[in-house]
Amino acid sequence: MLSQGLYDAILAGDAKNAEAAVHEALAAGVNPAMLIADTMIPAMDAVGKLFEEEEYFVPELLLAGRAMKAAMEPLRPLLAAAGAKPAGVILVGTVKGDLHDIGKNLVVSMLEGGGFEVHDLGADVAPEKFIAAIREHKPQIVCLSALLTVTMPAMKTTIAAIEQAGLRGEVKVLIGGAPINEQYAHEIGADGYGASANDAVSLARTFIGKAA
């Protein structure tokens, strides 16, 4: 591992030490892309496993995501200058009528931790906004989130709108949220369902052809 300190800081959700460890690694001449692949992504994978094993809970996931984000800040300009490509481009949003975003924020953190370029559209996102963002960012995957049973139909409406716009063939659609299940995903024509933020990362890697 290129930086045990960075790995430990992400696992502990310590944003300040995570960023400091990145600066230390860069000063020692560590390659930015290697640092992400060798240390940061494995750290977030470990966080996901701890969550699945119920050793970590939502607060720990959010803190780890924040630490990952802090660690990425000094690396972004270096990666851009080197022409480094993300694992894939993903749009994420909570559907129209639903203002809940904790689950969505977890998914965003885990996807960013997995090396994806993530465009977070926020909560209460209308189908038209998803369509405009697909045209602008050209993602491979669109993730739709809903926490309320009454907003679940907005997922179907959004998928139908993407289809009517002629963009359905360009993206895979993943859905998730407390009331969602595999059967509902199949019924509304989604490509996949993630029961957790970790599932979302695994599915995204599968769809884009990256090994989990």
The pLDDT confidence band at residue 211, using thresholds 50, 70 and 90, is: very low
Give pLDDT tens digits for 79-109.
878 887 888 999 999 999 999 888 898 898 8
The last residue of a domain, from among 82, 106, 129: 82
Q: Say if residue 76 is in the same domain as residue 162.
A: no
Confidence band, pLDDT 50/70/90 cuts, at residue 190: very high
DSSP lists the bridge partners of residue 193 as 175
Q: How many domains does the chain have?
A: 2
pLDDT at 181 over 50: yes
Residue 169: partners with Cβ closer than 8 Å, 6 or more residues away: none
The answer to whether residue 147 scores a pLDDT higher than 60 is yes
* Confidence tier at 210 by pLDDT (50, 70, 90): low
Using the 3D structure, point to which of 55, 82, 109 is the last residue of a domain.
82
Cβ neighbourhood burial of 2 (10 Å; 0-12, 13-18, 19+): middle
Mean pLDDT of 145-173: 97
* Domain boundaries, position 12: 4-82
**Extended beta strands in the chain, E state:** 89-94, 117-120, 141-145, 172-176, 192-193
> With contact defined as beta carbons under 8 Å apart, do 174 and 143 qualify?
yes
Alpha carbon distance 98, 133 (integer Å): 19
Contact between 11 and 46 under an 8 Å Cβ cutoff? The reply is yes
pLDDT of res. 212: 39
In this prediction, residue 145 has a pLDDT band, given cuts at 50, 70 and 90, of very high
CATH of the domain at 191: 3.40.50.280
83-119 core/surface letters (b: 16 or more CB in 10 A; e: else) = eeebbbbbbbbbbbbbebbebbbbbbbbbbbbbbebb
pLDDT tens, 29-65? 999 989 988 999 899 889 988 988 999 988 898 899 8
